[in-house]
Structure 1
Amino acid sequence: MGTTSKQPVQISRRAFLGSTAALAGAAAIGASVTGGLARADQPRDQAAEEVKINYCRGNCGANMCHWDVHVREGKVVAMKQHIHPDADPVTKGRSKGCLRGMSMMETLYNERRVKYPMRRVEGTPRGGGEWERVSWDDALGEIVQKWGGYIQQFGGKSIVRWSVYGSTVTLNSSYGSWPKLCTILGISSFLPGADQAQMFTYNQMGVKNFGCDGPSIAKNSKNIIIWGANPAECSPQEFRYMQEARDRGATLTLIDPNITATSAKVNRQLFVRPGTDSALGMAICKYIIENQLVDWEFQLRSTTAMYLVKSTDGKFLRDSDFGIPAVPNGMSNSATGIAYTTDPAFIWDNTQGKAVHIEEVTDPAFMGTFTVDVNGQPIECTTALSLLHDRCAEWTLERTAELCDITEQEIVDLANAMVDGPTIFAVSNGLGHTVYSHAVFSVSVALSALTGNFLKPGCGLAYCGVTASMPWIPVSYDQYMVPPDSKPGPVYAALKFPDIMETGKYKGEDAPIKSIVVVSANPLANTPDRQAMLKAWDQVEFTVTVDPIMTETAQFSDLVLPAAQWLEEEDASVAMFTPYTPWGEKCVEPAFEAKSDFDITRELALKFGLEQLYTKTSEQVAQEMIATSMNGLTGKEPLDVNGELVTYERLQKEKAIRVLHDEYYDPYFLMQDFRISFYLEDPRQINDYGVAIDVEKERLPFFQPPAEAWPYSVAGFEKNPLAEKYPLIFFTAHTRYRTHTTTGYNPWMLELQEGPQLHMNAKDAEVRGLGHGDLVKVFNDRGFVVVALCIDNALQPGIVNLPHGWQADQFIAGHYQDLTMRECDPFDCNDNYFDCLCEVVKYEEA
């Protein structure tokens, strides 16, 4: 009798992911693998495969990677990076994508997919997991009945839409269909706090992702400053261009308190004390100014450094101060809505001894204070650059080195790297997670401007090397066929939700929140101070979540509607982080009973009697929106790199159209006077909830220790007394496996992890008697979470990290957002995840 030997099958991770994609597709239709999918030896025509093209909406900050989506028998069976036809055969050009993005197809067939409208069983607690399936007609009818009653009794403001950044597209999601319907009904909205420190500050200063694109970095950048980012894990599709630049001879500098995957891929790293980055930036501003390293030609041509600032009101001296009316120029600030005008400013001419317009200057004064006769009144005026220098004056090399826990020479070397351009400042949201962290982004603008690192190849200020130049912007659906007399409800800062429910007021006005609809968001898993949020949530009468997945927020809702996933709908992005048009074609029909946001809101609108405003199909609307698209930089028609018009018909045929050259860089600033200004004339807060900002402070960069996470007494700043009880700084950093909670239930990503773990330096573990693998309780006065411990000496002693992206049912007990706090600065109402102290002990109940 013969013998049979069985050897273990060796399969690569990539092959495994590919095979599970096919299995997932089979599982979705309830078929066996052999019955539902074609055998490999079958003729191709028996298993015809169609390839569609879509782009990733995982919102990693460097998204919009294009994918070839392979469809067989109506199911997605594989996703591969789309190789653009104009790509270089060796480098593949701008073709990109990561395994995290590839795994997004699994959402279609995930066991947690919301298949049908689901209603919480009456009498059971929210989060109890007791559901009953209902029809779409019943679900939408319940919404219309309850919302109609709330609107009649309390007004539309009693209903709040809670959206974040789960999907940023024009027709569907939080930027399209839902804002349109909510505006018509007068419904309120929550302003999300996530990443506002960076986004709001940069948008107000006019430099959100401003500079050049990846290939230009690879070819031209001499210095790359990666500040508070970990692009090797979080943005690998963009980090590759920095690595190409390094291979060419560029120097990469990382500023981060901890060792990360990026640490191994840079030339040097500054291990700064957490929360001290703005002081570091101010010290470098001072060093650059005092050592005459400023790019003076760039200041005269493209900044407001030499503008005269009036001592009377802190604003620039302009023609309007002399009675010459300012003329609106049709532009406005995207963050504040402030209209820009043609109102020429004045600078001081040393030779002429008077204030003149820039075109009249012969000998400009960049520094100094001068007296100007304004309509017979002598007014003292100081240049913006002098005011910046005065603000930074206290930050000597010695004091900054002490505060930041680095050497003076490291500060000097970093300053020289910034000056020795072309330099790209790759600044991420990771810096913006403490109460006063928006000042870091303010000072990064000053550094970029002082060194002249704008408006030329290989330099700029960008999120890990990604720019957002907006050469193609479709008109968003939230503006489409909305009656001009429609008035949206109030906008509430989401962090103030518990206060609203406690008092029934917002800024002194009645705010009776009776219902919340959550779209493209998972706020109960991602908003700080979760226990306060849950308490407020339980006081809301009727909660609805619209999502493809049964998220943590969905689990605590009264009604859950199954939304289509982005591979199941045709749409375009409202933002742009790619040289190609971010347009995605519908790859498959929505699974089970899922519907697109467009269809959900249209059906709701019809039940509300709004037929006249919803007369067209999504395809018809998409065609009209593309027909009215524009170039966001010029305001003119959107053209491709060959000067041809981008049309709906071309998108249907070509799928992805090139609208930016590899050598592209932003040519001018869409700001008042078309100049960048590190000095804010008229700083505005993102949302007025009744607490005013310190206008003078916000006009220029500043340093203020984190509100809570400051366990140090150093450089004249005393430690937070709370640190005696809770001595550890609590981080929840991003990893390669997660984009917030978007992939939180993705089994392919979960397979590569060991569950939620707290990372801690061995020194901190030793003094607490803890070992690797122990179950530990992480806690403070707000709450706790129980997880396994991972000894990780990549962290500085005094810092612990529980990587971001987990949800309530994945913890042993508690939740990491139960520890975080809601305190914020009124300037940005930012979610400050890292401004948190804690203690760690062994979990005694284990």
Structure 2
Amino acid sequence: MSVNRLISCPYCGMNCRIKVVKKLSHPYRFDSPSLPDIPNESGKRCFFGNNIIKPSLTKDRIRYPLKASERGSFIRTSWDDAIREAVVRLAEHSENPESMMFIGGMELSNESAYVFQKLARLLGTNNIDNTAFDQKISVLEVVEANAYGLWRKYSEIPHNDLIVLWGINPAESAPLLLRWVMLAKSQGAKVVLIDPHKTKTIKLSDKMLRPYPGTDWALALGVLNEIISREPDRGALFPRDSLNIIELYPLNEVSRITGIPNAELESFVDVLLTSESGTIIWGPGAAMGINSKVTVRNIISLAGILNFGIIPFARWGNSQGVLDMGLLPNYLPGYTGYDSAERFERLWKTWELPREEGKSISDAITDEISLFYIADCSGLSLIPGIENALEKAEFVIVQDSYFSEVAEFADLILPAATFIESDGSITNSERRIQWSERIKRPPGEAKPHWAILSKIGEKLKLGFSYSTPEEVLHEISTVVAGYERAAPRILKRTPEGVFVGNNTGADLKLSAGYGKDVKGKVAIFVHQFRSFWKWELPEKLDSALISPEDASEIGIRNEGHIRIKSGKWDFKVRARVSQTVLPGTVRIPWKSIFRKALSLESLKMCECEVEGVRDGEDIH
């Protein structure tokens, strides 16, 4: 088989374009596409893009439909029997739609995500959510603020004279994003890094602010306060209740909360006000920590008051696309409210879609859910309480490419193709929609997600059946706001992709809020490690990082042991002393027991106690 195709790398929110060449009996070769406007400047690739084939070749692929004989043990079944079983179970539970929960992962294509939520809603439930945790928080705050017009393209970054990197470490997590920032810096732009820890990105920054974890909301409020104090007219963009909050946080108070010296805060405000153009790029450090929602809200307001651009950067796959496609309990595709569902009802030929807001993953964990349908388990194993919820459910359908901790709870497993094994579109963090071509066949009997879902919908007589992903994309382009230019005939002829149409005519609705106090030390988890698509929790890592100041305070030396306690967990770990760690924090490897102390909105950090451990003391 000879292949010469263009794909988008689904590893992070860049979705870099890669030209793949494959000739019979020769290995895959990756080339830089000769396109003038693509996410990866000059067609460059990082380590992950250069190894994009590797994950699909692992031994733990799901190759055939499987039925559980007992928990964690499965026997092979046919596709006909597997589809029949799924249809029977879904039909039974559709009599009580609130008993069902549909969860989609961030590696689904736009087409697969769209069909998945359509299946759920035609079965009568809005109990739909996704595992793009950080991007969901960011995007929903953008929607609330009508801040689409602030969204910037990667290629616009070099045209700014100030870049603020907030809670993101592109040097390690998104090297091709870093290239755009480096290009801006080479043209005279200043780079400000906001992060409690010194990462490799610090080498590129002109200024670094290190707020105590969970206090970023206060940093943004203090900056807003100082800007409005100096230029009062800017305050007209806020409602009175938000101005009342902002007035409570002058720089001296914010310095006390964040631990950032007052002079550094004033200098940051000076840089902001003397910059003619700027872009704030934030990542999971801002969107997944303590007080993450209010932090993102205040960052958007800061960008709005300065007329800066924003890029909420997603670390994984098609996080932006699955949100746009409506894998949310409170919005239809295109962030359409349920009070405007008529055009979906007409297209889907149904009398009435459910109008009540559905359950989120958090709700599903605490409420009684009888049936879970999980399409792509990416990141789901990190969620506190998910195992207990799956274990209590009557039936669990898992549709995925790899075996995982979540798959062990499945009653029925449907083998799915990976992103590079099927055609489909993907939307990156600059909201660029790109068509990605299949470059290899899936193993065994695995099928594309959209095809599996289409067959189930057909057998349930829900009024839809798709033969190709292009059919799905055509429907998306007719009904999903912002995707009008993504019709297959346009997108497939536009290799650089098209951008989601922004609602730039709507007025900004800026607001401000305050977060809860952070007391004591904060544990920051090194837990979201994955080998491309396959998530691996690094249980075997046995060392934490602690600052010299904290090591001295609790009386330990480098390679000594510390005890960390928070809520329901308590364990001992070897500690390495590092200057990169902010005093009052500890960076620790992820362990499954941490789920007991965390919430879904704060998977990256939690408050804790840290003390030294004497040799020979046993702690579990």
- When normalised by structure 1's length, the TM-score is 0.62
The percent identity for this pair of structures is: 18
* Secondary structure at the counterpart of residue 120 of structure 1: strand
Letter in 1 for 2:155: P
Output the CA distance in 2 between the equivalents of 1:647 and 1:449. Answer: 32
Output the CA distance in 1 between the equivalents of 2:281 and 2:400. Answer: 32
Q: Does 1:599 align with 2:451?
A: yes
Change (3 A) 1:579 1:526: closer
Are the counterparts in 2 of residues 289 and 389 from structure 1 also a CA contact under 8 Å?
no
Partner of 1:585: 437
Q: Does 1:555 align with 2:408?
A: yes
| Equivalence map 1:694-709=2 (5 Å) | 700-706=511-517, 709=518
Output the CA distance in 1 between the equivalents of 2:391 and 2:202. Answer: 44
Aligned partner (choices 277, 280, 285) of residue 425 of structure 1: 280
Cα distance, 1:110 vs structure 2: 1.0
Output the CA distance in 1 between the equivalents of 2:73 and 2:246. Answer: 58
Output the CA distance in 2 between the equivalents of 1:395 and 1:205. Answer: 22
Cα distance, 1:548 vs structure 2: 0.4
* Secondary structure at the counterpart of residue 111 of structure 2: coil
Aligned partner (choices 514, 533, 539) of residue 742 of structure 1: 533
Cα distance, 1:558 vs structure 2: 2.3
Q: Does 1:280 align with 2:219?
A: yes
Aligned partner (choices 138, 144, 160) of residue 101 of structure 2: 160
Are the counterparts in 2 of residues 104 and 743 from structure 1 also a CA contact under 8 Å?
no
Q: Does 1:70 align with 2:13?
A: no
Aligned partner (choices 340, 360, 364) of residue 493 of structure 1: 360
Partner of 1:656: 495
Change (3 A) 1:81 1:608: same
| Equivalence map 1:328-339=2 (5 Å) | none
| Equivalence map 1:351-370=2 (5 Å) | none
Q: Does 1:230 align with 2:169?
A: yes
Change (3 A) 1:50 1:738: same
Change (3 A) 1:235 1:500: same
Q: Does 1:135 align with 2:78?
A: yes
Cα distance, 1:86 vs structure 2: 2.7
| Equivalence map 1:156-305=2 (5 Å) | 156-167=97-108, 169-172=109-112, 175-192=113-130, 194-195=133-134, 196-207=136-147, 210-218=150-158, 220-292=159-231
Output the CA distance in 2 between the equivalents of 1:498 and 1:112. Answer: 27
| Equivalence map 1:455-470=2 (5 Å) | 460-463=309-312
Change (3 A) 1:475 1:758: closer
Partner of 2:339: none
* Secondary structure at the counterpart of residue 793 of structure 1: coil
Change (3 A) 1:566 1:832: closer
* Secondary structure at the counterpart of residue 278 of structure 1: helix
Cα distance, 1:547 vs structure 2: 0.8
Change (3 A) 1:770 1:162: farther
Are the counterparts in 2 of residues 107 and 565 from structure 1 also a CA contact under 8 Å?
no
Cα distance, 1:704 vs structure 2: 2.9
Output the CA distance in 1 between the equivalents of 2:373 and 2:320. Answer: 32
Larger Rg: 1
* Secondary structure at the counterpart of residue 186 of structure 2: helix
Q: Does 1:482 align with 2:348?
A: yes
Cα distance, 1:832 vs structure 2: 5.0
Are the counterparts in 2 of residues 157 and 187 from structure 1 also a CA contact under 8 Å?
yes
Partner of 1:676: 508
* Secondary structure at the counterpart of residue 677 of structure 1: coil
Change (3 A) 1:766 1:387: closer
Letter in 1 for 2:14: N
Output the CA distance in 1 between the equivalents of 2:130 and 2:481. Answer: 27
Are the counterparts in 1 of residues 379 and 535 from structure 2 also a CA contact under 8 Å?
no
Change (3 A) 1:395 1:650: closer
Number of positions where the alignment pairs a residue of Structure 1 with one of Structure 2:
593
For structure 1, the 5+ residue unaligned runs are 1-47, 300-304, 308-383, 454-459, 502-512, 639-645, 679-699, 712-727, 823-829
Change (3 A) 1:72 1:778: farther
Letter in 2 for 1:445: I
Aligned partner (choices 468, 474, 482) of residue 624 of structure 1: 474
* Secondary structure at the counterpart of residue 43 of structure 2: coil
Letter in 2 for 1:109: L
1:279-316 deviation line (CA, Å, top 9, x unaligned)? 22222222222223x6x5xx6xxxxx547xxxxxxxxx
Are the counterparts in 1 of residues 115 and 450 from structure 2 also a CA contact under 8 Å?
yes
Output the CA distance in 2 between the equivalents of 1:465 and 1:185. Answer: 30
Cα distance, 1:408 vs structure 2: 1.6
Change (3 A) 1:754 1:81: farther
Partner of 1:353: none
1:666-693 deviation line (CA, Å, top 9, x unaligned)? 998342xxx2232xxxxxxxxxxxxxxx
Letter in 1 for 2:20: V
1:115-163 deviation line (CA, Å, top 9, x unaligned)? 11222223xxx3xx422222222222222233333334xx233221122
Output the CA distance in 1 between the equivalents of 2:481 and 2:91. Answer: 40
Change (3 A) 1:81 1:141: same
Cα distance, 1:785 vs structure 2: 6.6
Letter in 2 for 1:151: S
Are the counterparts in 2 of residues 524 and 534 from structure 1 also a CA contact under 8 Å?
no
Cα distance, 1:629 vs structure 2: 8.2
Output the CA distance in 1 between the equivalents of 2:225 and 2:534. Answer: 44
Q: Does 1:436 align with 2:276?
A: no
Partner of 1:19: none
For structure 2, the 5+ residue unaligned runs are 334-343
Aligned partner (choices 88, 94, 97) of residue 151 of structure 1: 94
Cα distance, 1:590 vs structure 2: 1.9
Output the CA distance in 2 between the equivalents of 1:86 and 1:515. Answer: 48
* Secondary structure at the counterpart of residue 185 of structure 2: helix
Letter in 2 for 1:820: L
Are the counterparts in 2 of residues 258 and 796 from structure 1 also a CA contact under 8 Å?
yes
Are the counterparts in 1 of residues 214 and 290 from structure 2 also a CA contact under 8 Å?
no
- When normalised by structure 2's length, the TM-score is 0.83
Output the CA distance in 2 between the equivalents of 1:136 and 1:164. Answer: 22
Task: Indicate the structure with greater helix content.
Answer: 2
Change (3 A) 1:515 1:490: farther
* Secondary structure at the counterpart of residue 836 of structure 1: strand
Cα distance, 1:576 vs structure 2: 4.5
Letter in 2 for 1:283: G
Output the CA distance in 2 between the equivalents of 1:255 and 1:469. Answer: 23
Change (3 A) 1:92 1:760: closer
Output the CA distance in 2 between the equivalents of 1:203 and 1:580. Answer: 17
Change (3 A) 1:608 1:393: closer
